[in-house]
Amino acid sequence: MKVLVTGANGQLGSEIKELSVNFPNHQYFFEGSEGLNITDAKEVEAYIESKEIDIIINCAAYTQVDKAESEEIAAEKVNAGGVKNILKVLENRNGKLIHISTDYVFNGKNCVPYKEDDKIEPIGVYGKTKRLGEELFLSSEVEGAIIRTAWVYSSYGNNFVKTMIRLGIEHDGLNVIFDQVGSPTYAKDLAEVCLKMLDFNFKGKQEVYHYSNEGVLSWYDFAKSIMEIGNINCNISPIETKDYPTPARRPNYSLLNKSKIKKDLAIEIPYWKDSLKKCIKEIKK
């Protein structure tokens, strides 16, 4: 198949590009926003038709959670409008879509891991616009899957792990939130799942899946582990969400139930700390 990966310069797109050599059965096209503007319907149509794309892994997204609160139109243009443009062309080509979404479509008030069919209730602009993208996909005729993920990090791009390493080296101590709980996602692990899903037989269906690494922790626990594994001498102190106000509210509980994706793809999901060790090793190369 001819596979297009949008958002190819981001964390997940970069990891997919790196791992795609291990999945040589397909021909890949990797495009960032400068190579393909998904908000331009004509450009999307011309690109997909000329390259005869069979399946798209859509990693392109407006992900600046706080900025989205004051830039709703810009966020919606990418997270919903861009998806609409992709779907329109794929419908005409009988193409498939693997669309990356987020735990932010939930309100974060659960006390058990979120299942795919749990109530949708975004609490901010980012989550609302990502949900709009999901709804467009689910109301289309395009086969494929939505993969909701959370707390993504990688040796590529900007993320919590790289920020903590930098700040930990610069400072003797840092305050980190302890009352937001979830499980991080090493983008390399998710990239492998996306590539495996290319050969999945959707049988005319649209699936919704959840994926993050195994385990449960707070941002505080995550930061502590980053310092320990990275051998960085920085004291991490726990604080409450209310002590670190941001323009956008964050879900207090982001844990995702991964039973469905483990069963359907027959995969084992790595424990978060094992994946963190691998990523920090990559960062320190």
What is the domain extent for residue 63? 2-154+184-213+254-269
Residues 259-275 as b/e (b if ≥16 CB within 10 A, e otherwise) read ebbbeebebebbebbeb
Q: Does a structural domain hold residue 134? A: yes
Residue 246: phi and psi, rounded to 5, are -135, 155
* pLDDT recorded at residue 69: 97
Q: Does a structural domain hold residue 37? A: yes
Q: Is 20's pLDDT higher than 90?
A: yes
Mean pLDDT of 196-223: 96
Q: Does a structural domain hold residue 245? A: no
Q: 82 and 96 in contact (C-beta within 8 Å)? A: no
* pLDDT recorded at residue 244: 93
Mean pLDDT of 273-279: 98
CB atoms within 10 A of CB 46: 13
- CATH code, 135: 3.40.50.720
Mean pLDDT of 220-247: 97
Query: How far, in Å, CA of 145 to CA of 268, rounded?
Result: 19
Instruction: Tell me the per-residue pLDDT of 82-95, one tens digit each, with 9 for 90 and over.
Output: 999 999 999 999 99
Instruction: Using DSSP, state whether 100 is helix, strand or coil.
Output: strand
Q: How many domains does the chain have?
A: 1
With the C-alpha atoms ordered 66, 107, 211, 100, is the resulting torsion angle positive or negative? Answer: negative
Q: Does a structural domain hold residue 108? A: yes
Q: 226 and 161 in contact (C-beta within 8 Å)? A: yes
Instruction: Tell me the per-residue pLDDT of 170-195, one tens digit each, with 9 for 90 and over.
Output: 999 999 999 999 999 999 999 999 99
* pLDDT recorded at residue 285: 82
Instruction: Tell me the per-residue pLDDT of 22-72, one tens digit each, with 9 for 90 and over.
Output: 999 999 999 999 999 999 999 999 999 999 999 999 999 999 999 999 999
Residues 6+ apart with CB under 8 A from 25: 1, 199
- Categorize the per-residue pLDDT at 73 as very low, low, confident or very high, splitting at 50, 70 and 90: very high
Residue 181 corresponds to which tokens in the numbers above?
A: 């709980």
* pLDDT recorded at residue 203: 86
Amino acid letter, 218: S
Annotated catalytic residue 62: no
* pLDDT recorded at residue 107: 97
Instruction: Tell me the per-residue pLDDT of 121-135, one tens digit each, with 9 for 90 and over.
Output: 999 999 999 999 999
Q: Does a structural domain hold residue 30? A: yes
* pLDDT recorded at residue 104: 98
Mean pLDDT of 69-80: 98
Query: How far, in Å, CA of 213 to CA of 277, rounded?
Result: 13
Q: Does a structural domain hold residue 13? A: yes
Q: Does a structural domain hold residue 226? A: no
Mean pLDDT over the full length of the chain: 97
Q: Does a structural domain hold residue 230? A: no
Query: How far, in Å, CA of 238 to CA of 218, rounded?
Result: 10
Catalytic residue among 62, 114, 126, 211: 126
- Categorize the per-residue pLDDT at 76 as very low, low, confident or very high, splitting at 50, 70 and 90: very high
Q: Is 164's pLDDT higher than 90?
A: yes
Residue 138 per-residue DSSP state? H
pLDDT above 90: percentage of residues in the chain: 98
